[in-house]
């Protein structure tokens, strides 16, 4: 009997709630631990990134106008769908042979469980971060003075290579729970978990455009991110010094916020990234005056 050849999966981009191929027609091969090709992915181009930003901008009004309770419920549904894909996500993490790092031995299953728990954690903050980050300010005179928070807008999330799923979720969840929309640049060394997460988003009530996922090369995509005038902020971790400098130089020209976290120093499994203050860089503070009755 002839030897059967496996049909390898080609993971597509996730833009505006759909799964398009790259407009460039390019693809990337992903190699497993033994060096054999295990899958193909679309290699996103600068036009794909521009399309993703436009989709995120279109989705912003609906997502930011949704009630905080509704956003929390959508994120909880996202965690439910991830729970149903636990084995697939774990296989995607371990497919390239990487092992999660941490203070003790971790497995791919541990990473998936931690990522699910982190989605639930920030889902809980969706209707609470405004009270913690905002305030009732003491003023002199017959007035009430309130500081309230609003989402910044379209945020690019650059996932780290170490812990490609947990790192991605830890950067993305505080962005979307506060009403922002996101364009994700997946891990370059193991982008498959991000591609599978796109399938989670497509089936978990996330409105089109809220989460958009690109796979490709950072050298190509971050140049576009740095200069793009319709991106309001960047949340990244584990970048090289060159990529960090590239993004910060983009700030000088178009005034976007850039938050780059030291991926190697963060204990992604611990409490380092579980805080409402991971939400703070991606909200705007608006102060409102209101006359008080005498």
| Model confidence band, residue 102 (pLDDT cutoffs 50, 70, 90) | very low
The reported pLDDT for the residue numbered 207 is 96
Asked whether residue 99 carries a pLDDT value surpassing 60, the answer given is no
Question: How far apart (Å, rounded) are the C-alpha atoms in residues 92 and 94?
Answer: 6
The CATH number assigned to the domain holding 112 equals 3.40.605.10
Q: Residue 1 falls within a domain, yes or no?
A: no
Q: What digits encode the pLDDT tens for the residues 115-150?
A: 999 999 999 999 999 888 887 778 888 888 888 889
User: At 132, is the secondary structure helix, strand, or coil?
Assistant: helix
The tally of domains found in the chain comes to 1
Whether residue 101 is predicted with pLDDT greater than 70 in this model: the reply is no
Q: How many Cα atoms within 13 Å fall on the side-chain side of residue 285?
A: 14
Is the model more confident about 8 or about 113? Answer: 113
Domain assignment present for residue 3? The answer is: no
> Residues 193-203: pLDDT tens digits?
999 999 999 99
Beta bridge partners of 147: 135, 287
User: Which structural domain range is residue 109 located in?
Assistant: 9-291
Exposure string for 99-124, b = 16+ CB within 10 A, e = fewer? ebebeeebebbbbbbbbbebbbbbbe
Q: Which of 34-38, 223-227, 282-286 has the lowest mean pLDDT?
A: 34-38
Q: With a cut of 60, say whether residue 98 has pLDDT above it.
A: no
Q: In this structure, are residues 223 and 246 in contact, taking their beta carbons and an 8 Å threshold? A: yes
High-pLDDT (> 90) share of the chain, %: 72
pLDDT (0 to 100) of residue 77: 97
Which residues does 76 contact at the CB level (< 8 Å), separation at least 6?
119, 120, 123
Write the pLDDT tens digit of every residue in 165-176: 999 999 999 999
CA gyration radius, the chain: 20
pLDDT of residue 33: 78
Taking Cα atoms as reference points, which of 111, 83, 66 lies closest to residue 204? 83
pLDDT score, position 294: 56
Residue 74 lies in a domain: yes
In a domain? residue 4: no
Q: Are 171 and 235 in contact (CB under 8 A)?
A: yes
Taking the model in full, what pTM does it have?
Answer: 0.91
> Is residue 208 scored above 90 in pLDDT?
yes
């Amino acid at each position: 009997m002839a030897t059967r050849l496996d049909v390898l999966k080609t993971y597509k981009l996730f833009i505006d709630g759909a799964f398009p191929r790259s407009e460039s027609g390019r693809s990337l091969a992903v190699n497993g631990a033994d060096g054999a090709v295990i899958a193909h992915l679309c290699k996103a181009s600068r036009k794909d990134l521009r399309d993703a930003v436009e989709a995120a901008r279109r989705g912003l009004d609906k997502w930011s106008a949704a009630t905080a309770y509704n956003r929390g419920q959508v994120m909880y549904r996202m965690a439910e769908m991830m729970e149903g894909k636990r084995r697939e996500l774990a296989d995607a993490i371990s497919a390239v042979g990487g092992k999660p790092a941490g203070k003790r031995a971790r497995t791919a299953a541990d990473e998936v469980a931690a990522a699910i728990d982190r989605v639930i954690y920030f889902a809980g903050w969706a209707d609470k971060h405004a009270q913690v980050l905002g305030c009732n300010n003491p003023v002199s005179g017959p007035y009430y003075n309130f500081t309230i928070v609003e989402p910044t807008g379209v945020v690019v999330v650059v996932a780290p290579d170490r812990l490609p799923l947990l790192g991605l979720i830890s950067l993305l969840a505080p962005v979307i729970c506060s009403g922002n929309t996101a364009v994700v640049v997946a891990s370059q060394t193991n982008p498959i978990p991000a591609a599978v997460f796109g399938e989670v988003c497509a089936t978990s009530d996330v409105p089109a455009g809220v989460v958009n996922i690109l796979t490709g090369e950072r050298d190509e995509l971050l140049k576009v991110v740095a200069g793009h005038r319709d991106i309001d902020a960047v949340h990244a971790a584990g970048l090289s010094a060159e990529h960090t400098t590239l993004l910060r130089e983009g700030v000088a020209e178009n005034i976007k916020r850039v938050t780059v976290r030291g991926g190697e120093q963060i204990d992604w499994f611990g409490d380092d990234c579980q805080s409402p203050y991971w939400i703070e860089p991606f909200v705007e503070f608006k102060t409102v005056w209101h006359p008080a009755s005498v």
